Amino acid sequence: MKKLLFFALGLVGICTAASAQTGFGWGVKGGLNITGMTNSEGGQSKTGFVVGAFADYRFTQKFALSVDALYSRQGISFGKTEDIRSKTRLNYLNVPILANYYIFDGLAVKAGIQPGFLLSGKAVAKGDGHTEKEDISGALHGADFAIPIGISYDCPFGIILEARYNIGVSNVLSAEGTSRNSVFALTVGYRFYPEPDRITKKSRFAALFFTILLTCKDKSNPS
C-alpha cells in the first residue's frame, strides 16, 4: 500500500512539473494588420503587416508580463477617385508592454500600454501605371501612444495565435486636426522556452528520483 502511495505521489510531482511553465521565454511573430485613422474624411481601412520579436516572463501559471518590438505598417486608404488610388502609409516601431492573464492553460487575455515611434510617413497615389510618393513625416508626430488589448492561445510545439486591437490615444497629426491610429492585428508566433524547459526537465528528474528512492526505502523496510 505504501509503495502505491509513493508511486502515486511521484506521478503527481512529475505531472505538476510538466505543466509548470514559469520563467523566461522569447520568440518571433508576424501577421496581418487592418488599420485606420479616426476623423479621416473618406478614409477606409487598409491592410498592412506586422513583424517582430517578443520576450516574456511567466511569474505564475496565471500571470505573465511581455514586451514586443514590432515593425508595423499602418495608415489609411482613400479608395479610388478618377482612376487614382490614394493612401497614407505610416511605418512604426511599436513597443507594447502587456500584462497577460491565463484564464486556463494556453488561453490568455492581455492589456497594457504601447509607445510607438514613427519611422516614415508617405502619401501614395497610383494611377495610369504610375506611382507617386510624397513624404509627409513633417506633418506627423514622431511618437505615438496606444492601449493594446487582446487574446492569445498557446498551441503545441510553441505556436502562438493572437488577436490584438490597439486603441490609439494620441494625435497622429502635428499640423491641423486630430486623428488617431486604429489597428487590429492577427499574428502567428513561435515561442522559445529555454529556461522553463530546463526547469521542467530538472523537476521531472527530481520527482522521478524521489519516487524511486521512496519505493526502494519501502521495500527495505517492510511493514
Residue pLDDT, tens place only, 81-128: 777 788 899 999 999 999 999 998 889 999 999 999 999 999 988 877
Residues belonging to the chain: 223
Provide the grid cell at 29. Answer: 511573430
3-state helix, strand, coil in the chain (%, to 5): 25, 60, 20
Give tens-digit pLDDT for 166-197.
999 999 998 778 999 999 999 999 998 754 44
Distance CA 135, CA 125 (A): 12
Q: In the prediction, which pLDDT does 6 show?
A: 47
Q: What is the pTM of this model?
A: 0.76
Start-to-end C-alpha separation, the chain: 10
Q: In the prediction, which pLDDT does 143 show?
A: 96
Q: Which DSSP string corresponds to 9-30?
A: HHHHHHHHHHH---EEEEEEEE
Q: In the prediction, which pLDDT does 132 show?
A: 85
Q: In the prediction, which pLDDT does 214 show?
A: 53
> Which of helix, strand or coil describes residue 222?
coil
Q: In one letter, which amino acid is 155?
A: C
DSSP 157: G
